[in-house]
Amino acid sequence: MGSSAPLAIADICDANSHLLTNGELRPLPPIFQIYGRKKAFSGPVVTVKCFEDNVLVRELVAQKGHGRVMVIDGCGSLRSAIIGGVLAKRAENNEWAGIVVYGCIRDVDDVNLCDIGVRALGSYPVKPGKKGNGEKHVPVTIAGIRVCEGDWLYADSDGILVSTSEMTA
């Protein structure tokens, strides 16, 4: 989105009710907590599915983000964190716009210092496994909503929207 102001989620919904009806615009349920210094962010989606393991997430945040948003299907697990302060800082340094975790994060104070948008179900102090289980660049289901690589994600204080195409003002 460059230097322009992010699109407001509520405005996108108001202007595109037909896309909400046909499923091209999909709001995620209001189950996510807001972390990081960027309260609003958007970008094309990169997906990763991993259950209580963050090896694949580590590989992705080590790459240049180019303003993309990482969507992590942690299968809704509340038993270990997928992202912590180190990975959030690495994602910020590599120019990821944001990270949405269908699971938990940890090191909340450190994550909140990062100039990146992060959404997660909550925080949990236990670190994840390191076996490398999971898949990158595959369709994922976040709280019942399908999210695909190349979709666009928009997040602000009102919520999170996933779109099959880039939204314009």
137-151 residue pLDDT tens: 999 999 999 999 999
95, 61 Cβ separation under 8 angstroms = no
Strand pairing class (159-163; 152-156):
antiparallel
Q: Any binding-site annotation on 107?
A: yes
21: amino acid identity, one letter:
T
Average pLDDT estimate for 120-126: 98
Domain 9-163 adopts which CATH fold? Answer: Glucose Oxidase; domain 1 (3.50.30)
d(CA 109, CA 165): 34
Q: Any binding-site annotation on 55?
A: no
Strand pairing class (81-83; 98-105):
parallel
Q: Any binding-site annotation on 84?
A: yes
The pLDDT score that the predictor gives to residue 5 is 57
Q: Any binding-site annotation on 162?
A: no
DSSP-derived letter for residue 53 is B
Mean pLDDT of all residues in the chain? 94
The per-residue pLDDT for range 39-94, each reduced to its tens digit, is: 999 999 999 999 999 999 999 999 999 999 999 999 999 999 999 999 999 999 99
- Can you list the positions of beta strands (E) in the chain? 25-27, 33-35, 41-49, 69-73, 81-83, 98-105, 117-123, 135-136, 140-142, 145-147, 152-156, 159-163
d(CA 102, CA 123): 11
Q: Any binding-site annotation on 134?
A: no
> Model pTM?
0.94
d(CA 33, CA 148): 22
